[in-house]
């Protein structure tokens, strides 16, 4: 579609400069604190644990419109431009898209629902594991990440030689599909939509999955991890970003008036009651391991679905078995 070429200058500079100012302003402090916690705690082990916790088989069921409306309880602490509930930002984004893309109803719907994954924050997840810009873990944290200089010093991955090189655990151009991004609402909603077999086109799903990956879509960084598909998706993600960012305004939309129209889009692309992946509490578990099973690592590999290293406390039992107390919550028994 020739109309969809990214035009960075479409929004006049004068209008743009007020957005994403992370340095000054009344919100600067809580924005910084959210990123400080995020950049300290989001590392390879953490992200793998979140993938596991939020992909369990216990589900909450809710309609997409209820999920959007529940965001009226959430003010995003990472966002220097929005100090009102996220549900309004959903309608602002959608209406902006509807103005410029009246023919693409799926795109308008993406505008409405893109932040729905933030419901995780209403279900007990701290905001630094839900909101904010995302970035790859498992390879060097690049300077394109906001607050890069001052927030990563306590992140163990930053000094881990397996993770702090340009490619880290990845192969050149392996594709973003194979890259672990910091855990947050983008990936969560992407998974919920896939799980429920929603019929939003691939471009829309990628807008949702990568809309907070500013180091990539706005700074042009991490291209060395991208494959052809990612490069095909990038103009769409950027087209989405124009509305996600530049429709943020103090004037709030009349949500009640807009609901019927958007309900019709929901009915078309993600109807009915959706199954939402709910967080599974993975508790430290006590299990019996036969000594014949060899060393604990081998045992874990055969008996656990694990993302991360499992830690053991071995206690000698009888001649043929010992008790294994698995301390981490990063695995489930198969
Ligand atoms: O996509 C946006 C963006 O990354 C913002 O910077 C962040 O504050 C929001 O949480 C997120 O929804
Ligand atoms: Fe978002």
pLDDT digits (tens, 9 = 90+) for 128-148: 999 999 999 999 999 999 999
Q: What is the pLDDT of residue 242?
A: 97
CA–CA gap between residue 62 and residue 55 (Å, rounded): 17
CA–CA gap between residue 302 and residue 108 (Å, rounded): 46
Dihedral, CA of residue 295, residue 298, residue 300 and residue 306, to nearest 10: 140
Closest CA to 263 of 99, 112, 120, 72: 112
**Which one-letter DSSP state was computed for residue 308?**
S
- Does 333 score more than 60 pLDDT? no
- Does 284 score more than 50 pLDDT? no
Decide if 298 contacts 316 (C-beta within 8 A): no
Closest residue CA from atom 5 of ligand 1? 132
Computed on alpha carbons and rounded to an integer, the radius of gyration of the chain in Å comes to 22
- Does 13 score more than 80 pLDDT? no
Q: What is the pLDDT of residue 287?
A: 54
- Residue 220 burial by Cβ neighbours in a 10 Å radius (0-12, 13-18, 19+): exposed
Closest CA to 329 of 269, 276, 285, 268: 285
Q: What is the pLDDT of residue 59?
A: 56
Over residues 60-89, mean pLDDT: 94
- Does 35 score more than 50 pLDDT? yes
Ligand 1 centroid to 133 CA: how many Å?
5
Q: What is the pLDDT of residue 303?
A: 59
Give the confidence band of 217 by pLDDT, cuts at 50, 70, 90.
Answer: very high
Ligand 2 centroid to 185 CA: how many Å?
7
Give the confidence band of 57 by pLDDT, cuts at 50, 70, 90.
Answer: very low
Give the confidence band of 91 by pLDDT, cuts at 50, 70, 90.
Answer: very high
Q: What is the pLDDT of residue 26?
A: 73
pLDDT digits (tens, 9 = 90+) for 232-282: 999 999 999 999 999 999 999 999 999 999 999 999 999 998 887 666 554
277 compared with 18, residue with greater pLDDT:
18
Closest residue CA from atom 8 of ligand 1? 79
Ligand 1 centroid to 132 CA: how many Å?
4
289 compared with 183, residue with greater pLDDT:
183
Ligand 2 centroid to 207 CA: how many Å?
10
Which atom of ligand 1 lies closest to the CA of 146? 6
- To the nearest whole number, what is the mean pLDDT of the chain? 84
Ligand 1, CB within 6 Å, residue ranges: 76, 78-79, 115, 131-133, 211-212, 214
- Does 309 score more than 60 pLDDT? no
Ligand nearest to the backbone CA of 130: 1
Which atom of ligand 1 lies closest to the CA of 214? 4
């Amino acid at each position: 579609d020739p109309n969809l070429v990214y035009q960075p200058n479409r929004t006049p500079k004068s209008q743009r400069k007020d957005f994403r100012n992370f340095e000054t302003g009344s919100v600067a402090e809580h924005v910084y604190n959210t990123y400080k916690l995020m950049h300290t705690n989001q590392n390879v082990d953490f992200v793998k644990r979140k993938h596991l916790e939020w992909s369990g088989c216990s589900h909450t069921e809710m309609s997409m419109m209820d999920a959007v409306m529940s965001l009226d309880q959430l003010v995003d602490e990472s966002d220097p431009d929005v100090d009102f509930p996220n549900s309004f930002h959903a309608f602002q984004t959608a209406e902006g898209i509807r103005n410029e893309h009246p023919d693409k109803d799926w795109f308008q719907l993406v505008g409405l629902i893109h932040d729905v994954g933030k419901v995780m924050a209403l279900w007990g997840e701290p905001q630094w594991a839900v909101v904010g810009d995302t970035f790859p873990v498992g390879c060097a944290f690049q300077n394109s990440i906001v607050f890069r200089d001052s927030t990563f010093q306590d992140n163990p991955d930053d000094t881990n030689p397996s993770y702090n090189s340009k490619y880290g655990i990845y192969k050149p151009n392996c594709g973003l599909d194979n890259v672990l991004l910091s855990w947050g609402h983008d990936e969560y909603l992407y998974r919920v939509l896939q799980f429920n077999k929603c019929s939003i086109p691939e471009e829309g799903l990628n807008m949702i999955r990568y809309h907070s990956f500013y180091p990539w879509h706005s700074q042009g960084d991490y291209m060395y991890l991208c494959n052809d598909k990612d490069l095909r998706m990038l103009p769409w993600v950027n087209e989405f970003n124009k509305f996600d960012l530049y429709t943020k305004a103090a004037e709030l939309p009349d949500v009640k008036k807009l609901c019927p129209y958007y309900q019709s889009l929901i009915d078309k692309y993600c109807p009915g009651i959706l199954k939402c992946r709910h967080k599974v509490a993975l508790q430290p578990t006590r299990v019996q391991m036969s000594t014949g099973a060899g060393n604990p690592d081998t045992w874990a590999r055969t008996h656990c679905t694990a993302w991360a290293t499992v830690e053991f406390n071995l206690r000698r039992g009888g001649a043929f078995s010992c008790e294994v107390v698995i301390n981490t919550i990063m695995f489930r028994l198969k």
